[in-house]
Structure 1
Amino acid sequence: MQAVKQLGQYLGPYKFFTLIAPLLMVLEVTMDLIQPTIMQHMIDTGIANGDNRYVLNMFVWMLGSAVLGLIGGVGCSYYSSKAAIHFASDIRQALYEKMMTYSAKERDAFTTGKLITILTSDVESIQRAFMMTLRIFVRGPLLFIGAVIIVFVTARELFSILLIIVPLLVIAMYFFTKYSGVLYRRVQEAIDAVNTKLQENLAGIRVVKAFRRETQQVAQFGELNEALTKRFITAEQIVGVLVPFTMFVVNLGIVAALWLGAIKVDAGTLQVGVILAFINYLTIILNGLMSSSMVLMQIARALPSGERIVDVLNKEIAVKEAEHALTDPIKGAIDFDQVSYRYYETAEDVLKKISFSVKPGQTVGIIGKTGSGKSTLVKLLPRLFDPSGGEIRIDGKPLKSYSLATLREHIGFTSQKALLFSGPIEKNIRLGKDDATAEDLQQALEASCASEFVERLDKGLAHELSQGATNLSGGQKQRLALSRAFIRKPAILVLDDTTSALDSASEQQVQRAIATYYQDTTTFIVASKIASIQQADVILVLEDGDIVGQGTHQQLLQSNAHYQAIYASQQKAGEQG
């Protein structure tokens, strides 16, 4: 119920819609309930006595009640839809905003597939449950209670039938509602697994095709899909039994009413109109219980979804902002003081007591074997995650003391894999700086060697990129990613193996652009080739998370065995090439 209470806060702006919809439903139910009574009087008083004027009056009353019921029903549908859709929209927005604050740890805790399911399927389930509650859950109990009271008052001779039928229906409804919640929780878990597999395979489709693993991946997806199918079938079959069972019990009640009513009519203690009215009210009771049970089952299905939504909203963020965060301009002096990092509490450190200092405007090269911690080190700067130990300082102040907005506004970051978004090229570059001028755009494109291919495109900067920018080559994507970082003119520039997809001439042009346009920028260049960093002011050599060498290219060539080994292997590879 904690989930219901927390999500209920999102109803605040829509209280009017939430209140007016049930009131309009009360109007519709009231009109539905009085119609069988009007029909009873029409038969027993008007038709039985040949009073056509009375029959006409009752017809007018029935028509009027039907029109009022229509107004109530349409109004309830209108306002309940507005309330439920806006309610779900606000929850969806809050979820997305929360997910945008997640670091890798939080995303890994849920998995991408599960987060997608929660943002779509679970929110939709909550929306449907709330809409049905406003529309039907008010209607069902009111129809049931009203019909029972009217039968007790107007057809007490047949009321004993309800004392047998109603408990049977209520017990069945309780059982199916309780069990459906468990079943649909399992269905949601199976949907998570399907979405996760789908997301992985669509993202890695080129790898799947390159290794000809389509058959195996289809088979694995088939197993997950089969598991989802079985859970869905089980849930739907169990829930589906409720309708025929309820109809069976109600039909028994109708047969009993006709049998008992015939006896009493023959005895002269009951009129025919009362029997017809009772059967109508019995049908109303059935509809009331059926609709209520459907809503209860939808609520039971939505409760696990609500709990999953609340789990996302309440997930504690690892990277937090200080209470009185600094917004001071950043110059770019950086100190790592005994910095360590591990991805999980039980894992080993991937960075081990890293210490070094960088002055504003210096260029730092970082090199080492795959898995030595190069990318992890530079990801600490924009606080994509925080160190497990030690401290990072910028301009002499703790990194954590800066507001995240200020920190990241002063950092231009490019990752190993160039990530671009669907839409125009210009929009992608302006992610780095919204208010960039045309001159800024041109300079960034030239600095990254991207202008040469952008100018050849028919629409230039207006050229539309597909999802994942699959209509560009790897080198072209990398250049645009560099443009996005360059256009910020940041105090700190991080190039995480960004030039790996560039040819030597383009890489040299990028290096010259950095030296020319970004002299005051502190630059970190992660590279696998010494040629990419040999002009750096400081080169860090990493090995298994430790700094095993620090200095200029010449200093390391003279005194560091690890650097000498890397240099020798690359020189040998160059000679063989």
Structure 2
Amino acid sequence: MQAVLSLKKYIKPYMVFAIIAPLMMVLEVGMDLVQPTIMQHIIDYGIAQDNTSYIIKMFGLTVLCAFLGLLGGAVCSIYASKTAVNFAADIRQDLYETITYFSNSNKDHFTLGKLITNITSDVEMLQRALTMLLKVFVRGPLTFLGAIVIVFLTARELFPILLVVVPILAFSIYFFTKISGKLFLKVQEAVDAVNTRVQENLAGIRVIKAYNRKDHQIDQFRSVNEKLMKRNITADQIIGILMPLTAFVVNMGIIAALWMGAFKVENESIEVGVIIAFINYLMMIMGGLMSSSNVLMQIARAVPSAKRIVAVLEEKPEITNSESPVKSSIKGTVEFENVHFAYNKQNEAVLKNISFKVNSGETIGIIGMTGSGKSTIVNLIPRMYDTDQGLIKIDGRPIYQYDLETLRGEIGFAPQKATLFSRTIEENVKYGNDEATTEDLIEALESSCAYEFVEKLDEQEQYLITQGATNLSGGQKQRLAMARAFIRKPAILILDDTTSAVDSISEKRIQRAITENFKESTKFIVSSKISSIRHADQILVLEDGCIVGQGTHEELLETNTTYQDIVSTQLVRGGTLHE
């Protein structure tokens, strides 16, 4: 319950709405409670005494009460919905903002499927719980207590029946509510598994088709889907027992009331209208308890969701600003000093004792076998991760002293996997610099050799990219990702194997554009191809997370056997090293 209370700050901006809603519900409940008593008076004093004018007067009072109850209920619904919807929207917004600041390790801790459930299903669960809390939960207890008080005052002869019925109903509701909380926590965990499976399958749909594993994936989804189904059935079946059980108890109470009332009417110690009113109030008591139980069960379902949401909101991002971050501009001198790093701290380090320095405006190439740590090095520069040991400096200052936005704003990063958004080409490229002009856009597209295919599209720069960029080839995606980095005109340009799907002619044109247009930028070029990095001012050769060679292309050809092996292998496979 502590998790639920920690979210109360999201209600404060809408506190006026949250107060108006239950007040209006009080009006509706009050009008509902009055009507059985009015009915009693119509029967006992109007119909029994053949008093037509009294009947008409009480009928008018009934209509007025019904109208006021309708007004109160409508206003309550409007303001309860406003409160709950805004409350959920604010939580969803904060969740999204929190997730965007997560490092990769934070995301791995929760998993993407669970985060998707948090921001959709869990928030929806809280919204429904708050709506019911403001509407139904006020109605339930008020109806329950009001009916008991009125029965005690107007039908005391039948009151002992309530002393038996009410405790049975209350215990049943408490028992089933307690069970429901545990059951629906398991349901949400099953929803996580379904979301994770769907996300993985949609992301890897091409691989699934290529390997003809559609049936295998369907079987895997069927497994998690059936698990969710079984947990939902179990939860709904157990909760479903409550309604017929309470109806049975109330019906027994009605039978007891009719039986006792028959004797008392015969003895003239009670009137017929009182019995009818008592039955109505007994139904109200059951309705009040049932509506209260529904709210309690909804809250029981919402509590696990609240815990999961609070866990995300309270998760501390591993990558944060220092207390007094530096916001000065960056020139681009980068230095690694004895850097060690491991993705999983229990496993062997991915980088070991990495040390090198590159001056502003220079180009550094990084090459090595798959898994040697090439991408890890460049991911450390914009602080996608922090080092375990050692220090990274930019312009002589440790990078953790820089403001994160300032640091990353000075870096143009084209990652190994070209990620594009389901927006236009212009919006995707200007993602690197939303203040860029049309001329800047064209220049970036030309520098990355992307303009040659963009200009052939019907909509050109306004061409809409589908989700996952499935309407572009691999090379087209890579070139647009590079254009997005180029348009930033950064102090540090990082290209992480961004020409693997680009033909050699286009690659040479891109290299020429980088040389001409980014003379003052420090350039990190990660590649598995010698032709991509041979002109670098210095080249790092990596093997098993260690630097095993450092120097120019010519120096490494003479002194480094690992580099020589890479060159000879690419030549054997038909690679070209010519100018």
Same fold (TM over 0.5): yes
For residues 375-427 of structure 1, what are the alpha-carbon distances to aligned partners after superposition, in whole Å with 9 as ceiling and x for unaligned? 01100011111111111000000100111111111100011111100111100
Aligned to 1:429: 429
Partners of 1:441 and 1:575 in 2: CA distance: 33
Partners of 2:575 and 2:490 in 1: CA distance: 38
Q: Does 1:207 align with 2:207?
A: yes
Name the SS for the 1:449 alignment partner.
Answer: coil
1:174-189 aligned at under 5 Å gives the runs 174-189=174-189
For residues 5-62 of structure 1, what are the alpha-carbon distances to aligned partners after superposition, in whole Å with 9 as ceiling and x for unaligned? 2210111110000111000000000000010001101110111001101111111111
Deviates more, 1:566-575 or 1:149-158: 566-575
1:21-32 aligned at under 5 Å gives the runs 21-32=21-32
Aligned to 2:398: 398
| Residues 48 and 575 (structure 1), Cα distance of their counterparts in 2 relative to 1, 3 Å cut | closer
1:87-102 aligned at under 5 Å gives the runs 87-102=87-102
1:19 is matched by which residue type in structure 2? I
2:485 is matched by which residue type in structure 1? A
| 1:575 CA displacement | 7.1
1:15-26 aligned at under 5 Å gives the runs 15-26=15-26
Partners of 1:6 and 1:197 in 2: CA distance: 31
For residues 428-461 of structure 1, what are the alpha-carbon distances to aligned partners after superposition, in whole Å with 9 as ceiling and x for unaligned? 0100101101111111011000111000000110
Name the SS for the 2:11 alignment partner.
Answer: helix
Aligned to 2:232: 232
Aligned to 1:270: 270
Aligned to 2:146: 146
Q: How many residues align?
A: 577
Name the SS for the 1:416 alignment partner.
Answer: coil
1:454 is matched by which residue type in structure 2? V
Partners of 2:464 and 2:15 in 1: CA distance: 43
For residues 183-228 of structure 1, what are the alpha-carbon distances to aligned partners after superposition, in whole Å with 9 as ceiling and x for unaligned? 0000000000010011000000000111111111110110111110
Partners of 2:381 and 2:137 in 1: CA distance: 53
| Residues 228 and 575 (structure 1), Cα distance of their counterparts in 2 relative to 1, 3 Å cut | closer
TM-score, normalised to structure 2's length? 0.99
For residues 465-493 of structure 1, what are the alpha-carbon distances to aligned partners after superposition, in whole Å with 9 as ceiling and x for unaligned? 11011111111111111100000000000
1:67-78 aligned at under 5 Å gives the runs 67-78=67-78
Partners of 1:540 and 1:498 in 2: CA distance: 17
Name the SS for the 1:354 alignment partner.
Answer: strand
1:97 is matched by which residue type in structure 2? E
Gaps of 5+ in 1: none
Partners of 1:266 and 1:101 in 2: CA distance: 77
Aligned to 1:456: 456
Q: Does 1:420 align with 2:420?
A: yes
Q: Does 1:129 align with 2:129?
A: yes
Partners of 2:458 and 2:304 in 1: CA distance: 51
Aligned to 1:6: 6
Partners of 1:2 and 1:101 in 2: CA distance: 25
Aligned to 2:249: 249
Q: Does 1:551 align with 2:555?
A: no
Moved over 3 A (4+): none
Aligned to 1:356: 356
Partners of 1:216 and 1:469 in 2: CA distance: 25
Name the % identity: 59
Partners of 1:24 and 1:37 in 2: CA distance: 21
| 1:268 CA displacement | 1.0
Aligned to 2:300: 300
Name the SS for the 1:102 alignment partner.
Answer: coil
1:351 is matched by which residue type in structure 2? L
| 1:345 CA displacement | 2.0
Aligned to 1:490: 490
Instruction: Give RMSD over aligned pairs.
Output: 1.0
Partners of 2:359 and 2:48 in 1: CA distance: 104
Partners of 2:451 and 2:232 in 1: CA distance: 53
Partners of 1:348 and 1:91 in 2: CA distance: 39
| 1:347 CA displacement | 1.6
| 1:2 CA displacement | 2.2
2:547 is matched by which residue type in structure 1? I
For residues 218-263 of structure 1, what are the alpha-carbon distances to aligned partners after superposition, in whole Å with 9 as ceiling and x for unaligned? 1011011111000000000000000010101101111111111001
Partners of 1:126 and 1:346 in 2: CA distance: 38
Partners of 2:169 and 2:68 in 1: CA distance: 30
Partners of 2:315 and 2:519 in 1: CA distance: 41
Q: Does 1:442 align with 2:409?
A: no
| 1:86 CA displacement | 0.1
Aligned to 1:258: 258
1:519-558 aligned at under 5 Å gives the runs 519-558=519-558
1:427 is matched by which residue type in structure 2? E
Aligned to 1:386: 386
Aligned to 2:53: 53
Partners of 2:23 and 2:339 in 1: CA distance: 63
2:254 is matched by which residue type in structure 1? I
Partners of 2:279 and 2:60 in 1: CA distance: 23
Deviates more, 1:490-499 or 1:566-575: 566-575
Partners of 1:446 and 1:137 in 2: CA distance: 63
Name the SS for the 2:95 alignment partner.
Answer: helix
Partners of 2:68 and 2:45 in 1: CA distance: 24
Partners of 1:44 and 1:575 in 2: CA distance: 104
Partners of 2:241 and 2:70 in 1: CA distance: 31
Partners of 1:193 and 1:4 in 2: CA distance: 24
Name the SS for the 2:381 alignment partner.
Answer: coil
Q: Does 1:43 align with 2:43?
A: yes
Name the SS for the 2:48 alignment partner.
Answer: helix
Aligned to 2:196: 196
2:239 is matched by which residue type in structure 1? V
Partners of 1:559 and 1:133 in 2: CA distance: 75
Partners of 2:307 and 2:275 in 1: CA distance: 48
Aligned to 2:158: 158
TM-score, normalised to structure 1's length? 0.99
